[in-house]
Structure 1
Amino acid sequence: MTLFWIASVILVVVSVLVISLPFIKKKSNIDDELRDELNKAFYKDRLEELEEETDEGLVENQQELIEDLKQSLLDDIPSSQKVQQDSSISTLAIMIPATLLVVGLSYGLYFKFGASEDVMKWQQVSANLPALSQKLMSPEGAALSDDEMQDLTLALRTRLHYQPDDATGWLLLGRIALANRDVDTAIGSMNKAYGLDPESTDVMLGYAQALMLSQDDVDQDKARRLLGKLVQQDYVDLRVFSLLAFDAYERRDYAAAVRYWGIMQQMIGPQDSRYEMLTRSIENAQKQMGQQVGTGKSVSVEISLADQVNADPNSSLIVSVHTADGAPMPVAAARYPLGSFPRTVVLDDGNSMLQDRKLSSLDTFMVRVRIDSDGNVATKQGDWFGESEAVRMGEPVEVMIDSQY
């Protein structure tokens, strides 16, 4: 804003100088000078004519005519003092009003029609960008009011105009567009962010979410590929499974939707307020498949860590269900991100290892839980583990991870 006022002052000063420049020069009126030059030329020409007329005998009183010519020339020369005084008066009379007029019109018209209040608000909004961005990125980002969303959009577009290589800025702009259901803007912004930072999980997830809302099959296929990459990573965001479940349900792949929602339940545990909502979603998908809700058997396992366990956050959690005699070969097994503890996971027939031997066929069983630190299920050296007592199907299962191979 300071640069604007400095530039405006410079422009006003230049304008005043341009108007006043012709009157600043210290010389007589140019018209008077031209007249003097013309009179001198006329005097010389007339003298030459008188010489020729005298030689031809046409003029007898040459000297008197020359005197008269000199007198008429002197009478036509203006007073230099008067010319200088008139010039000085005319210069001040024009420069002062011109200066006042330029300054008054310039700033008066700007404050009247120049949207100075909007410019000041724009500057304030741009300065408030970090605070608005942090509020959007926080879990309470949806609490942004409509005015705050508009301010954030304006500030982001201003920043991206000057910093087009800011991947985070494009990501934020895409999230705002998603909140406003502006699919085209969301896809365009997320695409720019993905082009600048293709390895960022946040960018990949946001881009997949935007593409999932598109009506174009090509966009939706690209979204599934992005989600597929995210699922293969060590830590998978809960929103990835939510998008996969939504997509599966929309494609009427209800079995896949149930599986993804079941994984989400395992990740958050029954103490989370979203658990019941996911249960209703699973029941609805099962109804769509023609299944009777509640007849399928499942195993719910509550897992906790002993105090001495120090697990790598990048490790995986392997949960396996075995026959009651503790046979090494599991009947069902599942792998999860480590997450936080205590937590609850649920296994059902979808986790069975063999097609002809379902988890629901067991009357009694035991559960083993292991923290896999290297990603290879065949190696166990240094891994922490725990196992349950033999229990009957339908009974709760608790496992404490407290031992190490």
Structure 2
Amino acid sequence: MTMFWIAVAVMALLAAFLVAWPWLGKTFNKTVDGQRLNVALTRQRLQELRREVAEGLIESKDLETAEQELKLALAVEQGEAEQQRATGSKAVFIAGLLIAVMVSALSYWKANEIDALQDWQQANSQLAELGRRVVVEADPTVTVDELQRFALALRTKLNAEPAAPEGWLLLGRLYASLSRLDSAIEAYEKSLSLDPERGGTLLSLSQALVMVGNEESLIRAKQLLTKLQLQEPENQSSLGLLAIAASQLGDTPLAIKSWTALGAMLPADDPMQASIQQRISELSGMSSTRLLVQVALSEEVKAQLPEQGYLIVFARSSDGAMKMPAAVIKQPLSVLPIEIELSDSNAMLPNYNLSSLAHAQVIARVSRDENVEIAPGELQGEIQLEVAKGTTMRAEILIDKELN
């Protein structure tokens, strides 16, 4: 809409310019003054001719011929001047009309966002089909573009019918699958405001908050998961997530309690039992896998270091099969070099941690925000190492390149 109003202002100024054109310069005045001078000179010459006839200098018959020639010359000169003015005015009018048409077309296109409107109309027409494929059939061939169209159509429908907690929950899960965590959290919060006791919303919102990973989000997730545990004590997903949130907040007693409760619910031969017992051992101060990372900054990138930001250090599988970090630490940027400790307690999933890796890619990144996704201008360094499970390892990372 800003573009539209700018275009309106430009067209108004253009219209004012066209109206005021004859008075903007001296050309018009010069033309009028020239016409008046020609008329005055013609009249003077006629008077002189009549005087010469009276004095006998020329004959009467010659006077009539001279008068006709003078009047004809004056008429021709005035006609040429009128034609020049008409030609100039026509050119200005045509130029102004063309500019006005182009500005109007451009402003209409921008103001109405034709491409976005077409995408929106297409998304709305496919809402039912995409809903069937995504929700009912869980079709694995659904593309990212189709998920985005489905989210757009669903968001439009919810604008018209906002009192639908299940709709906001679905929209949040769509956004989460598209890695739009801020939008997902906003949708989950709207769903929760309409139905505060819905367990699925409590769990999905908590997962998104734990993924964000800052202290405020973790505290909020801990509150929601505690509430969900009171409602559904046998909910294994909420127990595992609560244990992770408590670990990252440093609430060791709650983390141990949650892992212990989860282990008691699972069969003794469940594959997750080993990971749970390892977590409990680590939190209890027993032997665990630890990585002490010395992070330093190279001279080449010191000038690009932001005054405020975050240092993010994380380890993940070096084969690229799993992009999510197996262990991650995020903290406000401080003086470098600094030593950071990564361990299994810094994991985001109960069965995917530092001890589960054989070969790790360890990355240290300086970011202006807490998001672990790559953004242009961030600084990074990385190393590859073999993980020795149950030991304390040491490594050094030099942050030496700027990401594009």
Provide the TM-score with structure 1 as the length reference: 0.39
Greater relative contact order structure (CA < 8 Å, 6+ sep): 2
Provide the TM-score with structure 2 as the length reference: 0.39
Higher Rg of the two aligned structures: 1
